[in-house]
Amino acid sequence: ENVYMRWGFRELLEKQAVDIIEPDFQKCGGLLEARKIADLAHTYYVPVAPHAVTSPIGMMGTAHVCAAIPNFLAQEWHWIDDADLWRNWVKEGDIIQKGFITVPDRPGLGVEMNDDGARKAQVPGTPWFEPMKRA
């Protein structure tokens, strides 16, 4: 989870030093880089079980990559103390149902941020971004 970019995984794979890799798709260089890491691991017959201590938005991005790689093994998922807080970050509510995520077929990640729900997690005095106004 703390190895970055595909070059960081290359030596581990070449030396057959890993049986499974756990890249953190939010930290490894983005979703495209995550796919490249998975492709590299696949050439060594190594499965991918992504590390994911993330929001529902990050989890959905990870789910999209996992759905597109042949060597996907399992998706790590961390439940936080306040389930309603996590559930309310996106308008779709719980994106994990009975241990599974259904990857939406809508454009983008397929989830829409719930600003009001997410603001409940904001630390007082910290900045907040505002969505762009569309013409």
pLDDT tens readout for residues 27-76? 899 999 999 999 999 999 999 999 987 778 888 899 999 999 999 999 88
Residue 80 lies in a domain: yes
28/36 Cα distance (integer angstroms): 10
Q: Is 132 helix (H, G, I), strand (E, B) or coil?
A: coil
How many domains in the chain? 1
Question: Minimal CA–CA distance to 18: which of 29, 28, 27, 10?
Answer: 10
Q: Is 102 helix (H, G, I), strand (E, B) or coil?
A: coil
Q: In terms of pLDDT, which residue wins out, 9 or 128? A: 9
Burial letters for 67-105: b for 16+ Cβ neighbours within 10 Å, e otherwise?
eebebbeebeeeeeeeeeebbbbbebeebbeeeebeeee
Count other Cβ atoms within 10 Å, centred on residue 28.
23
Q: In terms of pLDDT, which residue wins out, 37 or 125? A: 37
Residue 131 lies in a domain: no
Residue 101 lies in a domain: yes
The mean of the pLDDT values for the chain is: 86
Give the domain CATH number at 25. Answer: 3.20.20.120
Statement: residue 79 has pLDDT above 80: no
Report the pLDDT value the prediction gives residue 72, as an integer from 0 to 100: 97
Residue 62 has phi, psi (to 5 degrees) of -60, -40
87/83 Cα distance (integer angstroms): 6
Q: In terms of pLDDT, which residue wins out, 38 or 125? A: 38
- Which residues form the domain of 111? 5-119
- How confident is the model over 81-90, as a mean pLDDT? 72
